[in-house]
Structure 1
């Protein structure tokens, strides 16, 4: 069972400006690498279907690739459990070094994987296995990085400090979008089959993970662990089995349920609005070119990167609940009209609709992580937060592109993503309304 509640070591004056930059860089670099690697897989789903699957029905091929995308999400909770338990027992910093190396190896492996034409059915099987490696590492990354940043952050600035990690995640998707856009002339069947550079070009975005991983490893090796963890370790207050302890506490069980349902809106935002959007736009209903589809996505990513720090700072002033609830209400109202703009097939209107949704979604994605981090004490924070959040990502995020592809293919209704956005926003609103807002309280150690 949990020991009596203790407030964390005072957080004011912990970090000067230079130290803050180092901590933020260390926390964000892994998020950037993880989400670049994850995003590039989604952006290039159509190309991967051409390379790693037998010729045939393109819809079925795309469904298979998105199924591989979804499978990686179902490995995330395992990564969250393993990395979370170790992170609560031996330290956040050590696990963050490990996960950035793991995903870099897995992503580079996709870039080196022989095509279906060379090794047959082994190609898609190995692709899925590498995606599972990616999923395991991402499961340990998100909770670890957010915990690391929150425990280092000065009092009253946890919202803005942790929001930088979300900027990194969307900047990573933007980088992936621009890389995929620059490679788009070589991502067609004709280019892949034509030999020469075209047959190799699709591999480059995945191989970029190698230098990214090396840089991330170097930065994270040089940073110290969090004051909260170090203090708890010195006092002999670390949990021997943090996940068991979390499940033994009614308060922590409830918090883990909230960690599962508050991120519902992520399914419609992150994984539909951004990762899935290029595939949706260049589908047979709208017929954008791959370059146009990626440009729409890039514009919305720029907008959300600008909006996120304002939302994080706002949550430090007015509280997490108000910002998230406002974003959920706005998504429920504007989700369908914004998607109607996207579905016109007009480039300018599509950009406008995507950017409206990006601003709305910023109020959710900038704040959910710090709200959930603050629900748990240091003894179980990495484990409990990671498990709840990653189960949510698996159920409602990883399945979203697969679900949207299937629903649109089955019904012919291109508004399915908008309906999904509204439903998940209402779910988030219901969940966040039950939370005790701890924005203006210190983090607890136990």
Structure 2
């Protein structure tokens, strides 16, 4: 007789529950990342409000410095929220983090300006960005873990891809709101009071997200493990004690490298890059950014579903190779100053990046068992975001100002794509296997 290792039984999710779970996972991601669009489009305005004595280039760099600082608190959020999420449950932590991010984002809209309280104003801005970074550190890994553990076998890639759509739609929403207000109110009014309004809109977003998340139950995997008495007493310590988990955390650090050139440069930094360095008009910058965001939002679910069929590695490796090849030509198209060519370059890169961002999170989820998943996945991914993601806009602004070379983002795209390719080649694909509990 052949002994077969016991695996958790495949589970089905009824359509109504599937909709509730997906909405609960996505609404928090939307609220968490909405402010990235605001910062990306209003970097110049925020620089004038909080750093009025500096030159425009330095103002933008200082805003992105505050943006980058928050990312270094993501690992702390991942550690604390991950530990509590693996011990107390995913649902409780998802409620907590959406409360924290909503309060921190809205509080930015209430800050006094540099003209009112001097250097304390930018200090408070950075403090609130730190709170945002902490909460996002708990949100990213928590929401993806929540969606994956609820998803039926064979559809985990598709389910988790929905949260990535929410992240890019939130970026688009923040960009459109900031752009619409800038166009409607004018530069003087925006610097006077208009910059506050997009941040204050986080209040209704947070209330809606809190209401939805409080009405959902925890994941089947976590509930089963808790009932069996199988929860880890110290998930992160357990993860570090295992050579398999240490290797997986190292992979979780390097596989997301393409996020730096994708999400944080192609989308967050692009409006500032196009208007400040390439001298596009604000409407033209918005058009290119919006078109690329729509493109990636349409492509993401296709990539997630494709990874369910052919595996995560094949999709991710294809995306990394394509980015390494197309990164420089696409940025050269954007750098021509021609809107039509810029649209083509940005949309091609967005479609390629969908193969990374639509699949990366489910691959990382599948690297770890339920006992340590939230903690270990959150730590590796959030350290990667801190080192290679949030610093990317600041790095690009600094390198371009020092070298005068506006193709720096293209080189960054190629380097990060090659790094991701090497890391993904070391992964064992678990797309067609059930999630592990231990």
Same fold (TM over 0.5): yes
Query: 1:73-93 deviations in whole A, cap 9, x for unaligned?
Result: 000000000000000000000
Given the alignment of the two structures, is residue 409 of structure 1 paired with residue 408 of structure 2, yes or no? no
**Cross-structure match for 1:172:** 170
Matches within 5 A, 1:112-127: 112-127=110-125
- Give the count of matched residue pairs: 435
The equivalent position to 1:201 in structure 2, one of 194, 207, 214, is: 194
DSSP-derived class of the 1:236 partner: coil
Unpaired segments ≥5 residues, structure 2: none
Moved over 4 A (4+): 186-189
Given the alignment of the two structures, is residue 390 of structure 1 paired with residue 382 of structure 2, yes or no? yes
The equivalent position to 1:428 in structure 2, one of 410, 420, 432, is: 420
**Cross-structure match for 1:196:** none
Shift of 1:290: 1.9
DSSP-derived class of the 1:263 partner: helix
Instruction: Supply the distance in 2 between the matched residues of 1:63 and 1:267 (Cα, whole angstroms).
Output: 17
**Cross-structure match for 2:370:** 378
CA contact (8 A) 1:79 1:139 kept: yes
Instruction: Supply the distance in 2 between the matched residues of 1:353 and 1:134 (Cα, whole angstroms).
Output: 32
CA contact (8 A) 1:116 1:122 kept: yes
CA contact (8 A) 1:50 1:189 kept: no
Shift of 1:9: 3.5
Shift of 1:192: 4.2
CA contact (8 A) 1:38 1:134 kept: no
**Cross-structure match for 1:230:** 223
CA contact (8 A) 1:70 1:394 kept: yes
The equivalent position to 1:139 in structure 2, one of 116, 134, 137, is: 137
Instruction: Supply the distance in 1 between the matched residues of 2:164 and 2:327 (Cα, whole angstroms).
Output: 21
CA contact (8 A) 2:157 2:305 kept: yes
CA contact (8 A) 1:7 1:442 kept: no
CA contact (8 A) 1:311 1:362 kept: yes
Shift of 1:390: 0.3
**Cross-structure match for 1:38:** 36
Matches within 5 A, 1:128-277: 128-185=126-183, 189-192=187-190, 199-277=192-270
DSSP-derived class of the 1:12 partner: coil
TM-score by length of 2: 0.97
DSSP-derived class of the 1:286 partner: coil
Given the alignment of the two structures, is residue 9 of structure 1 paired with residue 8 of structure 2, yes or no? yes
DSSP-derived class of the 2:164 partner: helix
RMSD of equivalent CA atoms: 1.3
Shift of 1:8: 5.9
Instruction: Supply the distance in 2 between the matched residues of 1:162 and 1:290 (Cα, whole angstroms).
Output: 33
CA contact (8 A) 2:30 2:166 kept: yes
DSSP-derived class of the 2:73 partner: helix
Unpaired segments ≥5 residues, structure 1: 1-5, 194-198
**Cross-structure match for 1:318:** 310
CA contact (8 A) 1:334 1:357 kept: yes
Instruction: Supply the distance in 1 between the matched residues of 2:16 and 2:416 (Cα, whole angstroms).
Output: 39
DSSP-derived class of the 2:332 partner: helix
**Cross-structure match for 2:84:** 86
CA contact (8 A) 2:78 2:378 kept: yes
CA contact (8 A) 2:149 2:219 kept: yes
Instruction: Supply the distance in 2 between the matched residues of 1:168 and 1:7 (Cα, whole angstroms).
Output: 35
Instruction: Supply the distance in 2 between the matched residues of 1:406 and 1:7 (Cα, whole angstroms).
Output: 54
Distance 1:240 1:187, change over 3 A: farther
Instruction: Supply the distance in 2 between the matched residues of 1:66 and 1:237 (Cα, whole angstroms).
Output: 43
Shift of 1:189: 4.5
DSSP-derived class of the 1:113 partner: coil
Instruction: Supply the distance in 2 between the matched residues of 1:47 and 1:350 (Cα, whole angstroms).
Output: 24
CA contact (8 A) 2:36 2:174 kept: no
Query: 1:267-288 deviations in whole A, cap 9, x for unaligned?
Result: 00000000000000001x3111
DSSP-derived class of the 2:154 partner: coil
Shift of 1:253: 0.2
CA contact (8 A) 2:308 2:431 kept: yes
The equivalent position to 1:299 in structure 2, one of 291, 294, 299, is: 291
CA contact (8 A) 2:37 2:173 kept: no
The equivalent position to 2:100 in structure 1, one of 99, 102, 108, is: 102
Range that drifts further, 65-74 or 199-208: 199-208
Instruction: Supply the distance in 2 between the matched residues of 1:270 and 1:7 (Cα, whole angstroms).
Output: 39
Shift of 1:187: 7.1
Query: 1:142-171 deviations in whole A, cap 9, x for unaligned?
Result: 000000000000010000000000000001
CA contact (8 A) 1:112 1:203 kept: yes
CA contact (8 A) 1:185 1:191 kept: no
Instruction: Supply the distance in 2 between the matched residues of 1:395 and 1:187 (Cα, whole angstroms).
Output: 37
Distance 1:231 1:351, change over 3 A: same
CA contact (8 A) 2:182 2:190 kept: no
Distance 1:108 1:120, change over 3 A: same
